[in-house]
Amino acid sequence: MLTNNYETPTTVWGPVRDAAGRMLFRLWAPSAEKVLLRLNGENRPMQKSDEGLFSLAVADAAYGASYGFVLPDGRFVPDPASRAQTGDVHSPSRLVDPEAYAWQQEAWPGRALEEAVFYEIHIGTFSEAGTFRAAIEKLPALAATGITAIELMPLAHFPGRRGWGYDGVLQFAPHSVYGSPDDLKALVDAAHGLGMMIFLDVVYNHFGPEGNYLPSYAPAFARNDRDTPWGAAIDYHEPWVRQYFIENVLYWLLDFRFDGLRLDAVDQIEDPSEVHILREISETVRRTITDRKVHLVLENPPNGTDMIAPRQDGRGFYDADWNDDFHHIVHVIATGENAGHYADFADRPWEKLKTTLSEGYLRPGKPIVGNASPPAASLPPTAYVHFVQNHDQIGNRALGDRLHTSIDDHSYRMWMALLLLSPQIPLLFMGDDYRESRPFHFFADYNGEIGAAVRENRPKEAVNFGGIPEGVDADELADPNMLETFQRSRLDWNSADTPDGIAWREFIRTLLHVRREKIVPLLPQARGYAGRVAATPDGVIALDWVLGDATLGLRANFTDLACDVDAGGLPIYSNNGREQDRPLVGTLSLQPGEITVFVDQ
């Protein structure tokens, strides 16, 4: 019998070969009196254990066969731990040979998180074909630019053919429109062959609104006392539920060899168990995978530091957290928009920007595990992932427009340099490497009431992310369920080969070269309370970070007036032509529009 003791090693979700070579099918369905296995169209009775686990070992089940389960009322349901679907989330599942793919990069050791430059990708719009195999063709250009970590938006099978993936219902099945599990393995393999890590975004706070059959035979998956903003909360006090998600974590990291996971909106994961599920996930991964570097990243909007604060072994339960505070402040300063999510950042934004760069979060966070959240400044800067835009902050805008289309070229260059040359872990959104101008919309593939609800929610989201532009009516916003909305969101790779695209990519390559050669070697020595802020006028930034025996200094002037600031060290980057072999000593006259970064060792 399962317990919520996280030492339990048994896998119970999904089909596996037993010692006799038979395929063992299993389904935890405690509320069902009987369940039939439907294998290649033939129904076969299953046996039920006292814990509600139905099982059947079959000798003639070949890989590639279709299967699913028939409930007492005659309904057919796919395997909730399906490794692949024959079609959509309502179709039969397909048996997959986990050993069929021949790995080319078996000795891949991983990379340190300090080396990460994240590049967030939506597989369906990253290429014209929108598949795992098509994405492989684009990776060499990213690697040559200096990208070191690909992050895929969620792949767990979701309803319809297109969507962002945050409404998945089959957690183990890569979305079939993107390709097969082996195609996904080939993408991971190709990234490793180019020296790049590859991460997966996973959603463990709710199931999507369509295609989730668990409530009909395993209602204990959902809490009846709490909802998330997107659906019923998951009941992690139930041992079988915990096991499902623990197995899912290890499945992505072991079977597909991902270098890490990014857990979406963990503030919506509540767990009254003695060992919180988020801690269990971390400790299971650390204990299980010891032959290569694997990293766990959070999205934790309440800004609690308890999950990422270093412990006795020098690591937190998780390695880093997305810092929305940095993005929101940059956006307010760069665009002047200050409504919705940006309202709290409109007051004294330059002061707040300096705080996020030097300390991390702006406000004390709410802890998830334990009763206290250490001060944000007590964490190293590498505990924070920074970005000037990502899928949320582009796709939830009224027009899906990117930042560079709203501000002048020089300012955008300065913000990008600030992002990539600060010691925090930077993240780019797909297309940022050549300055894509096509929009990225929110899109889905729902009909009926769900489709109407998704469509009606778009203006509300737009208000939170910059508002609806003057002259645009709410009913003119792109319908997320229309195919055209998805198609408009595809990258235009032809623009990467234009003179402007080539020049921008060279600019990014230059910044990332400086980061790799001059900044990354200092980051393993980063500790808490590293950031120091000098008093400067609004629009002028003078920041130092103590990184072991070295100090990384950044000076930036976003104003129209020169400003004297203190500086000391060898320049490693300057957009003002400062010579790298001539040390900065004493007072630096920082010119309008100048950004200079230096190291003092």
Task: Report residue 577's pLDDT band, with 50, 70 and 90 as the boundaries.
Answer: confident
Tokens of 484: 């055209």
Establish if 22 belongs to a structural domain. Answer: yes
Instruction: Kindly state the average pLDDT of the residues 453-478.
Output: 93
Stronger pLDDT, 4 or 309, i.e. the higher one: 309
- Domain end position, chosen among 94, 114, 140: 94
- Domain end position, chosen among 94, 117, 139: 94
One-letter-per-residue 3-state SS of 367-424: CCCCCCCCCHHHCCHHHEEECCCCHHHHHCCCCCCCHHHCCCHHHHHHHHHHHHHCCC
DSSP 20-85: TS-EEEEEE-TT-S--EEEETTEEEE-EE-TTSEEEEEETT--TT-EEEEE-TTS-EE--TT-S-B
- Total domains present in the chain: 2
Instruction: Kindly state the average pLDDT of the residues 299-313.
Output: 93
Instruction: Kindly state the average pLDDT of the residues 278-291.
Output: 96
The CB density around residue 350, as the number of other CB atoms within 10 Å, is 17
For residue 107, give the 3-state DSSP assignment: coil
Establish if 524 belongs to a structural domain. Answer: yes
Judge whether residue 369 has pLDDT over 50. Answer: yes
For residue 588, give the 3-state DSSP assignment: strand
**β-strand partners of 586:** 567
**Residue 347 among the catalytic residues:** no
Establish if 224 belongs to a structural domain. Answer: no
Q: What is the pLDDT of residue 6?
A: 36
Q: What is the pLDDT of residue 578?
A: 87
Query: pLDDT digits over 169-188, tens only?
Result: 999 999 999 999 999 999 99
Instruction: Kindly state the average pLDDT of the residues 304-309.
Output: 95
Q: What is the pLDDT of residue 3?
A: 43
Catalytic residue among 235, 238, 299, 433: 299
Q: What is the pLDDT of residue 579?
A: 85
Tokens of 232: 């019923």
Tokens of 340: 């919705």
Judge whether residue 467 has pLDDT over 50. Answer: yes
CATH number at residue 23: 2.60.40.10
Interstrand relation of 550-557 and 540-547 (parallel, antiparallel or unpaired): antiparallel
Cα 397 from Cα 198, distance rounded (Å) = 27
Please check whether residue 302 is in contact with residue 365, taking contact to mean a CB–CB distance below 8 angstroms: yes
Establish if 406 belongs to a structural domain. Answer: no
Judge whether residue 334 has pLDDT over 50. Answer: yes
Share of the chain above pLDDT 90, in %: 94
Catalytic residue among 264, 280, 325, 594: 264
Query: pLDDT digits over 130-164, tens only?
Result: 999 999 999 999 999 999 999 999 999 999 999 99
Judge whether residue 214 has pLDDT over 70. Answer: yes
Task: Report residue 560's pLDDT band, with 50, 70 and 90 as the boundaries.
Answer: very high
Q: What residue numbers bound the domain in which 38 lies?
A: 16-94
Judge whether residue 111 has pLDDT over 50. Answer: yes
Establish if 148 belongs to a structural domain. Answer: no
Q: What is the pLDDT of residue 445?
A: 97
- Domain end position, chosen among 94, 118, 147: 94
Establish if 262 belongs to a structural domain. Answer: no
Q: Taking the model in full, what pTM does it have?
A: 0.97
Establish if 32 belongs to a structural domain. Answer: yes
Instruction: Kindly state the average pLDDT of the residues 199-225.
Output: 96
Task: Report residue 312's pLDDT band, with 50, 70 and 90 as the boundaries.
Answer: confident
**Residue 51 among the catalytic residues:** no
Query: pLDDT digits over 493-504, tens only?
Result: 999 999 999 999
Establish if 64 belongs to a structural domain. Answer: yes
CATH number at residue 553: 2.60.40.1180
499 Cβ contact list (under 8 Å, min separation 6): none
Sign of the C-alpha dihedral computed for residues 383, 388, 389 and 393 taken in this order: positive
